[in-house]
Amino acid sequence: MTRKLEKEFKDWFDGKGHFVAQPFQEMLASNVALIGKVDPKRVVSKKEKTVQVDDGKSMDEKWASLLAESTGVEASESAVPGKGKRRAKK
């Protein structure tokens, strides 16, 4: 039996290019029944994949935080209008 899976290559690597095993294992366990049976804790249902968190931040704050996190530079006052200086989470 042949099974075709489509997943973006970037989903298995972090920002520095290091392989991250968990998403790869979850993809295999969720799509190949035999692997899912042997490793049921890695099976992810479609509902579990879409998680939304409302942390009370505005969209501007979220974008500034994401930008700061991805560049390693702290968010500036100009990145978020009306907000003070913030540091990126590490």
pLDDT confidence of residue 85: 60
Q: What is the pLDDT of residue 90?
A: 65
Tokens of 7: 């997943």
CA gap 87, 69 in Å, rounded = 9
Which pLDDT score, from 0 to 100, does residue 38 have?
92
What's the domain count of the chain?
A: 2
16 lies in some domain: yes
| pLDDT tens series, the chain, 90 aa | 777 777 787 888 888 889 989 988 998 898 888 999 999 999 988 654 445 566 777 888 878 888 888 777 654 544 555 555 666 666
In-domain check, residue 7: no
Q: Is this prediction's pTM over 0.75?
A: no
What pLDDT is recorded for position 77? 47
Please indicate, yes or no, whether residues 17 and 42 belong to a single structural domain of this protein. Answer: yes
* Domain contains 5: no
Asked if residue 18 is part of any domain, the answer here is: yes
2 falls within a domain: no
Distances (CA, A) of 19 to 10, 15, 25, 45, 88: 9, 10, 12, 23, 23
